[in-house]
Amino acid sequence: MAQNENLAQLSKAGVAVWLDDLSRDRIRSGNLQSLVDEHSIVGVTSNPTIFAAAISGSSSYDDQLHALAVRQVSVEEALRTITASDVRDACDLLAPVAARTGRDGRVSLEVAPGLAHDTDATASEAAHLWWLVDRPNLFIKIPATLAGLPAITTSIAKGISVNVTLIFSLERYRAVMDAYLSGLEQRLAEDPNASLEDVESVASFFVSRVDTEIDKRLDAAGANASLKGKAGIANAQLAYRAYEEVFSSDRWKALEAKGAQPQRPLWASTGVKNPEYSDTMYISELIGPDTVNTMPEKTLMAYADHGQPGTAVQEAYADAEQVMKSVAEAGVDLDDVFRVLEEEGVQKFVDSWDELTASVKEQLQDKA
């Protein structure tokens, strides 16, 4: 089948188009396959919020829930069995994409969000999930909290491919890239013959949530309205400049010579929250080589229908710097913005995980 032209052009520009959604219904109905065939989808991301919506609103999980209830498994084991099953099936569906591209065809599964501030527990669960799904095109999602950084290094050193999530600030993004390089270096230090070629990582830099928080503060400060809706993209554009710096360094070149792959920037939270803004702005203005853009289906279809490329990321650095400077001069405490966004991001996933846990517990009781 023919690919949508707008999305195909996005792919040719170096953007890997991923879907920010996963459900058993989407897999079984053939919908996910059709998005791969017709809309250039080469990867899938999931999170606790996505699974909460998928499981609570579908009968596709009934047979598995009944089998788990009969076995009297714990709610936690049931959750992991159900989510791992969907991710494994999605990995199998995308395996041909992985074979064709060598880098994509990936599906992400997140560690329990309640572990976000526990390094050892995060690293242990990452290893367990990697074993449980047992597919080479899996990504384990680890949050970029301060406790998450050493867990990223540990996981990479073990050969576990990682999608680092909930990145908001340039400072934390640089720490994430350092954690990735440190993991590769540790892997080689422990075994000089260890392969680096199969260890992949992406760094999920959140976009629209930055605008939502900063716009609110600009309004409170009585700032010039022309600054609204610009910081999220500018922040991400400067992140890409940081990516270019780190992955052209001598430190990186030494690892690249051993077969390492760069940790690609992934633009997350790309669904537009403010209806006054263009519904494709977080795609059009973030086009650059070796990037990933993970989109909700609504955003994906909007770009397929009327998306057009904006200014290339590498051409926007000067303007992006000015935007962030102007926002700070307007009285917005950017460090506090990023702190609040990280705390809220973790809490939102914890709340979704709790909702998912309650739903599965209730369904296990009903199916017993």
Given a cut of 80, whether residue 57 has pLDDT beyond it is no
Q: What is the pLDDT of residue 52?
A: 86
Q: Give the CATH number, domain containing residue 155.
A: 3.20.20.70
pLDDT band at residue 5, thresholds of 50, 70 and 90?
A: very high
Query: Would you say the C-alpha torsion 330, 334, 339, 345 has a positive or negative sign?
Result: positive
pLDDT at position 212, please? 97
SS3 304: helix
Give pLDDT tens digits for 17-38.
999 999 999 999 999 999 999 9
How many separate helices (H) and strands (E) can be counted in the chain? Answer: 16, 8
Task: Show which residues are catalytic.
Answer: 141
**Residue 169's pLDDT is what?**
98
Q: What is the pLDDT of residues 308-318, one digit of tens each?
A: 999 999 999 99
1, pLDDT greater than 90: no
Cα–Cα distance for residue pair 200/137, rounded to 1 Å: 9
Note the pLDDT tens digit of each residue in 220-273.
999 999 999 999 999 999 999 999 999 999 999 999 999 999 999 999 999 999
Q: Are 354 and 265 in contact (CB under 8 A)?
A: no
The total of other beta-carbon atoms located within 10 Å of residue 217's CB is 19
SS3 (DSSP) at 133: helix
User: pLDDT tens for residues 327-336?
Assistant: 999 999 999 9
Q: What is the pLDDT of residue 238?
A: 98
Taking only the tens place, the pLDDT of each residue in 136-182 is 999 999 999 999 999 999 999 999 999 999 999 999 999 999 999 99
What confidence score (pLDDT) does residue 359 get? 86
Residue 302 has pLDDT above 70, yes or no: yes
The C-alpha angle 15, 242, 204, rounded to 5 degrees, equals 50
Helix/strand/coil percentages in the chain, nearest 5: 60, 10, 30
Q: Which residue's structure tokens are 């803004």? A: 277
Per-residue pLDDT tens over the stretch 64-112: 988 999 999 999 999 999 999 999 999 999 999 999 999 999 999 999 9
Q: Report pLDDT digits (tens) over 331-366.
A: 999 999 999 999 999 999 999 999 989 988 988 888
267: containing domain: 5-367
Decide if 43 contacts 106 (C-beta within 8 A): yes
Give the helix/strand (H/E) hosting 266: strand 264-268
> Which of 225, 141, 152, 221 minimizes the C-alpha distance to 184?
152
Please give the average per-residue pLDDT across 275-283, as a whole number. 97
> What's the average model confidence in pLDDT over 206-213?
98
How many separate domains does the chain show? Answer: 1
